[in-house]
A and B are shown apart, each in its own frame.
Chain A
Amino acid sequence: MSDTEIHHLGAAYALDALDPRERQAFEAHFATCDICRVDVAEFRATAVRLGELVSERPPASLKASIMSEIAETRQFSPLPVTQLADHRRRRAVVVLASVAAALALFLAGAVIAGRGGDDFGDQLATIMSDPTAQTVRLGGEGPGTISVTWAGGRAAVVAAGLPDPGDGKAYELWLIDGAGAHALSLLDPADDGSIERVVDAKGSPAAWGVTIESDEGSPTPTEPILFVAETSA
């Protein structure tokens, strides 16, 4: 699909009139395209005006059924939002979570503002378009921020302001579940202390952690955990 063509899919997207493959391609695109994000937001507001035309009162019994279900349903937590400005490439990446990109426009912390796509932005958008996607911001003592967004066996790591781990050392990302800490990947920050990486992350994380290890990696964390976050799963 050409670039011009994809820009023109915003109206059909807002009407949910794309087939699944085009929908996915467009979601990956619009997360990184300011013009399309505005288009989609406006077209959706317009589409809902059409929806108002067919408003119809549901059966009275439905309210009780919904109210009893929500009384038992846990809400998502308000968002930890990590913002990273990468001045070199003049992109701002704002990561959030647990929201399909489809809905993210309306929710706090959305999405990615950027100029043009790149591999990382596209992969992040794909992860975020999964309705099960979640994001956590890892807390820690040291300087810098790290957040992880994951879904479907893939995790996107965004970090800013990390100090150089030192000669022969590297940051290592851990997926922590009931069985312990699983080494996922070494993370090598750029000169400005930023990381943008997508890694395989099979399993159901109960927590994420980051340590500094030898730059050959370690099968288990040997150093204190510098950054950690529990998931809401």
Chain B
Amino acid sequence: MGVLRRLQARPDATSIRADGGDPLAPLMVRAGRGDQAAFGDLYDALSGLVYGIVRNIVRDPSQSEEVTQEVFVEVWRLAPRFDETRGSVNAWVGTVAHRRAVDRVRSEQSSRDRLERDQLKQEPASDVVADTVVDAHGREYDRRRVRRALDRLTDVQREAVELAYFGGHTYREVAALLDQPEGTIKTRIRDAMIRLRDELGASE
């Protein structure tokens, strides 16, 4: 139900995706010329993605806000150099968000602290995923597809990717967490990412 309503309410965010264009690229181009209103629209479209990625890794809400702010300021500074032939706005901004979040936790907490935190939590990262609130930007359909693709991984592949991406752990930390050889984890992560890429299509 929600899916249909969103499709109707936001044709720009969904139909354009179908023909491969990037609905956010024109806004990024305008932001790159110093257009703050366009940047505000970009913020509206991307703040859920950025804050979600950051919060999932950083956890602490006020630190998550700080990191989210750093991400958007960096995007603003680099916007004049955005080139839509090199990837989507989503992919770029999401990459910046993940990197900044990971840098923050790795500089502030030892990996041991984070390992203990995750061990104490004793819940698979997929619970975090399943409980997530849907945002207002027409991503619901996509998410089902992503969840389905995750479901098709083997359990051990999914676990490794989730600990790395959602947990913000290095593959070495994932290996320690799961008590597996590092080489095994590296391979699982790679195999999982190849399968996800093939299921989801890489170039959106």
Question: Is A85 interfacial (CB-CB < 8 Å)?
Answer: no
B78 touching A11, Cβ below 8 Å: no
Q: A8-B190, A15-B189, A41-B87 are in contact. Are A67 and B202 (CB under 8 A)?
A: no
What residues of B have a CB within 8 angstroms of the CB of A75 in the complex?
Answer: 32, 34, 76-80
B190 touching A12, Cβ below 8 Å: yes
What 0/1 readout, one digit per residue, does chain A (91-112) give for beta carbons within 8 Å of chain B? 0000010010011011111100
Chain B interface, >50% SS class: helix
Q: Which chain B residues (173-199) contact chain A, with CB distance < 8 Å?
A: 174, 186-187, 189-190, 192-194, 196-197
Instruction: Please name the residue on chain A nearest to B172 by beta carbon.
Output: A19
Question: Is B95 interfacial (CB-CB < 8 Å)?
Answer: yes
Q: A45-B204, A52-B143 are in contact. Are A106 and B48 (CB under 8 A)?
A: no
A17 touching B51, Cβ below 8 Å: no
B77 touching A16, Cβ below 8 Å: no
Taking each of B43, B44, B170, which has the highest tally of chain A beta carbons within 10 Å of its own beta carbon? B170
Q: Which chain A residues (1-59) contact chain B, with CB distance < 8 Å?
A: 8-12, 14-19, 41-59
Instruction: Please name the residue on chain B nearest to A18 by beta carbon.
Output: B170
A46 touching B77, Cβ below 8 Å: no
What 0/1 readout, one digit per residue, does chain B (146-177) give for beta carbons within 8 Å of chain A? 11001000000000010011101111101000
Question: Is A78 interfacial (CB-CB < 8 Å)?
Answer: yes
Question: Is A66 interfacial (CB-CB < 8 Å)?
Answer: yes
A166, B63: Cα distance in complex, Å: 60
Within the complex, the shortest CB–CB distance from B143 to chain A, in Å, comes to: 6
A63 touching B43, Cβ below 8 Å: yes
Q: A17-B174, A53-B143 are in contact. Are A62 and B68 (CB under 8 A)?
A: yes
Instruction: Please name the residue on chain A nearest to B62 by beta carbon.
Output: A59
What residues of A have a CB within 8 angstroms of the CB of B165 in the complex?
Answer: 15, 17, 47, 50-51
Question: Is A222 interfacial (CB-CB < 8 Å)?
Answer: no
B78 touching A76, Cβ below 8 Å: yes
Q: Which chain B residues (88-131) contact chain A, with CB distance < 8 Å?
A: 88, 90-92, 94-99, 102, 128-129
A70, B164: Cα distance in complex, Å: 31
Question: Is A69 interfacial (CB-CB < 8 Å)?
Answer: yes
Instruction: Please name the residue on chain A nearest to B80 by beta carbon.
Output: A78
What 0/1 readout, one digit per residue, does chain B (49-68) give for beta carbons within 8 Å of chain A? 11111011000010011001
A43, B73: Cα distance in complex, Å: 24
Q: Which of A41, A43, A52 contacts B193 (CB 8 A)?
A: A43
Q: Which of B76, B142, B164 contacts A73 (CB 8 A)?
A: B76
Question: Is B10 interfacial (CB-CB < 8 Å)?
Answer: no
A172, B80: Cα distance in complex, Å: 32
Closest 4 CB pairs between A and B? A48-B94, A42-B202, A58-B51, A11-B193
29 example contacts (A-B, Cβ-Cβ < 8 A) are as follows A9-B186, A10-B190, A17-B171, A42-B203, A45-B203, A48-B91, A48-B94, A49-B204, A50-B196, A51-B52, A53-B146, A54-B52, A54-B128, A55-B52, A56-B51, A59-B61, A62-B51, A65-B69, A69-B69, A70-B72, A75-B34, A75-B76, A77-B80, A79-B81, A106-B86, A106-B91, A106-B92, A110-B83, A110-B86
Mark A residues whose CB is within 8 Å of B.
Answer: 8-12, 14-19, 41-59, 62-63, 65-67, 69-71, 73-79, 96, 99, 102-103, 105-110
Inter-chain pairs besides A57-B51, A62-B47, A76-B78, 6 sampled, C-beta below 8 Å: A9-B186, A47-B98, A54-B128, A56-B52, A67-B36, A73-B73
